[in-house]
Chains A and B, each alone.
Chain A
Amino acid sequence: MNWLTDSGVWTTFLNTNLWSTTLIEATPLTLAAIGGVISERSGVVNIGMEGMMLTGAFFAVVVSILSNNAGLGVLAGVLTGGVMALVHAFASIRLKADQIISGMAINLLALGLTSYLYFSVYGSAGTTPCSSTCAPGDVRGVLNWPIPVLDRSPALGQILFQQNPIVYAMLLLVLLTHFFLFRTTLGLRIRAVGEHPRAVDTAGINVQHLRYLAVTLSGLLSGLGGAFLSLGWAGNFSENMTSGRGFIALAAMIFGKWTPFGAFGACLLFGFGSALYDTLQNNTGPVQDYSTLIATLPYVLTIVALAGFIGRSTPPASDGIPYDPAAG
């Protein structure tokens, strides 16, 4: 185990790059995860976040190219994520379908749809989407916004204040989501409907409307996460570029006990895992050989934590159960 004594391992933690990458990795996860919190608090399980993200990522790039405007691209990503969520909402709320199956269908639909459109629009070329019909430069990405003065502060400057606007937005949205769920009347109703929809119905509130709203919000947030992946980070789209982030967000939501702050914390942990892997890979020497193993650490911790060390994580009582006013 001489790699443990290798000074390279420990200096890695002083590397500001590691920490800023952690935040970047956590951004798409967090956006999806807090959306998942809203959806599941209303009683609709959303495992379709992966697909909603992927859809958002794709259409953000398409619209960015067509309009030559990154902002419109992001907007398109958000909205198309929302549209996918509406499909899930319609199936699981109106048609009372099994929410796991509906969510899975969204994921498969998004994967197939984006891959198909990607090849048919841009040709079958390899990793660069625009190689035959357009130049990579045509994708208008979302550029980083260093915040004046603050960005020059040591260490924190690079970690926090030279980030992408969507990263700032994510931080703000975590706060907003918490406020929305726990301080507003609508949030109270959403929390209530996930626990006992019949009680909400008999109090004169429309259960279906609340759930539609919550699921759609979840899709919009996932879409923003997707737009960040493609426009804010990678600079273009690649097939299945979400690569399981929607599911990791789902795990983070559960780990975070269905609260925005908890989910954010879990996403930071997962983001740290990925960032650590990236950073160690660039190291030389024995550390590199173990980087993959080290990168599994946050996930191992998660399993340990979920196995009961942080107390049992209980979902909203009616999570995943379609509401039928005539039953019982």
Chain B
Amino acid sequence: MATRPESWGGDDVPAIEARDIVKRFGALVANDHVSLQAYSGRVLALVGENGAGKSTLMNVLSGLLQPDEGEIRVKGKAVRFRSPRDGIEAGIGMVHQHFMLIPPLTVAENVVLGHEPPGVVYDRAAARRKVTELSEAYGLKLNPDTRVQNLSVGLQQRVEIMKVLYWGSDILIFDEPTAVLTPQETRELFVVLRGLAQQGRTIIFITHKLKEVMAISDHITVLRGGRVVGDIATSRTSAREIAGMMIGRDLTPEVHHPPAALGEPVLQIHGLEVESDLGVPAVRGVDLDVRAGEILGIAGVEGNGQSELVDALMGVRKTQAGSARVNGVELLSGGTPFRTLPAHSRRAGVAVVPEDRRERGLVLPYSVADNLILGMQDTRRFSRLGVLSFTRIRVWARDLVGRFDVRPRRTDIPAGNLSGGNQQKVVLAREFSEDPALLIAAQPTRGLDVGAAEFVHQRLVEKRDAGTAILLVSAELDEILALSDRIAVMYEGRVMHIFNAGEASENEIGLLMTGGAAATEVQRMDTAAPALTSEQ
């Protein structure tokens, strides 16, 4: 990594500065007198938990939202943005967490959109030329005529970066850019970011991954509950200290667990084949065992068949071939096509924390209490002759809300009003309550902040220690490494390899996740790119 300036320059004028920004959404104060400074040539990391106000602040800085109070200064001059156009003209470009790309349009069309070559008729050739020039200047290899929908997530991010470079922005804001990237892609991104900073651009990097903050930034600003709670040079602090500032208390030591006391295989999958929504094979002959008392982690870049595997096991997707048994009970078996039913799967002792909690895990407009009995509403516990017993439901819900620390501690509000972390706690509370033989947790901490993620991790390990077999699917390699007793790497619908905990490095797994050979190809292409890489 390039050497960083030792001290944070206080003598020169910040490239961009926020002064006492206040932004309210109704009664919620998302930004409460927030101030920060970012300097040219350096990387500022803006960190904080979900809901700390990071994205709001950046949307204010880029002109998408207007602040209720406070001032923005660009190179010492006060500015007022009425729309993103004003922000762009002041030299501010934002790479959004959810890409601002139009999938059916080409790379070139996406890059020039809003600042097209002059003329009523869209000048395709000029746009293509521009993209090619930028490609060469910054070493961001891209074919201008490819439709964005056909690009991998990593390449889509390049299009986003190219877009802000095309605008000529010199203050670049990256909103959680690594959330969707593999470890390799993240490293490539960091090379690009360092290069841009060395050219004198100002980088603001938003994240809640502390490892990355320490690796890339020169300075760190910490937000909590809409206020700035820390502002410090990276060289003078530690990940631990930053984590403490973020969550307002000391982080409990990383969940670590003794090796599992292995029991009998609970889940046994043989030769499973499942198709995706598009009718192409997504799971292509998977064999997998999960034993009682172990966490089997499935590592893989999203879209390599993990979702379809989980869907099949929970009974919402038919399978083409293969079988799966839970404690000897057939879930799916031979014969094509065959699917189990969610109710059957549940009866066999399978509980699922689904990937998309808002879509599959909860009925958002229903109350927390109603959500806590979903799937069990017909049992004797909660109903007689089809009539629900509200008293029993309330007692049950109050108990779970307390034990899983759902905040606010209310059972009558719609689940949709809870924060992401608390929604996930509701799902966990429900799925854990049945004492399942097999728990499937798909992306269980997606979008959760450090505190909530830690809570989820602890509960998973507890459950494992109580003898439940856990199948953990996650795109976060750190999570897989921290929790799993065994790690299965999935790539293009196949299990490439199964490691025991501690047996493989992040690097090895990362390589398998991208198909090994395919990954070296990507790297070769990048080292061939000039400009940025040569500066390292």
Contact = CB atoms under 8 A, between A and B. Distances in A.
Interface of A: 183-189, 191-192, 195-196, 198-206, 317, 325-326
A186 B120 contact: yes
Most buried by A among B65, B100, B101, B115: B100
Given A203-B84, A205-B113, 11 more contacts: A185-B120, A188-B109, A188-B116, A191-B105, A192-B105, A195-B102, A200-B102, A204-B83, A204-B115, A205-B114, A206-B85
B470 interface: no
B25 A326 contact: yes
Nearest to A188: B122
A199 B119 contact: no
A325 B65 CA distance: 8
Contact of A202 (B94, B103, B116): B94
A242 to B, nearest CB: 33
A196 B114 contact: no
A142 B65 CA distance: 52
19 contacts: A183-B121, A184-B120, A185-B116, A185-B121, A185-B122, A188-B109, A188-B116, A188-B122, A189-B114, A192-B102, A192-B113, A195-B102, A195-B105, A199-B100, A203-B84, A203-B114, A204-B84, A205-B85, A205-B113
Top 6 A-B residue pairs of the complex, sorted by shortest distance between their CB atoms = A203-B114, A204-B85, A199-B100, A185-B116, A205-B114, A195-B102
Interface string B70-103: 0000000000000111011100001010011111
Interface string B119-143: 1111000000000000000000000
A202 B120 contact: no
B62 interface: yes
B81 to A, nearest CB: 11
Contact of A185 (B25, B88, B94, B119): B119
A188 B124 CA distance: 11
> From DSSP, what is the main secondary structure of chain B's interface residues?
loop
A92 B75 CA distance: 40
B25 A188 contact: no
A196 B25 contact: no
A184 B121 contact: yes
B408 interface: no
B163 interface: yes
Contact of B102 (A186, A187, A196, A325): A196
Interface in B376-413: none
A194 B274 CA distance: 33
Contact of A195 (B62, B96, B99, B103): B103
B126 to A, nearest CB: 11
Contacts of B84: 201-204
Contacts of A205: 85, 113-114
Contacts of B121: 183-185
Contacts of A186: 120
B481 interface: no
A325 B122 contact: no
Contacts of A325: 64-65
A206 to B, nearest CB: 7
B335 interface: no
B104 interface: yes
Contact of A188 (B99, B101, B113): B113
A188 B111 CA distance: 12
Nearest to B65: A326
A258 to B, nearest CB: 11
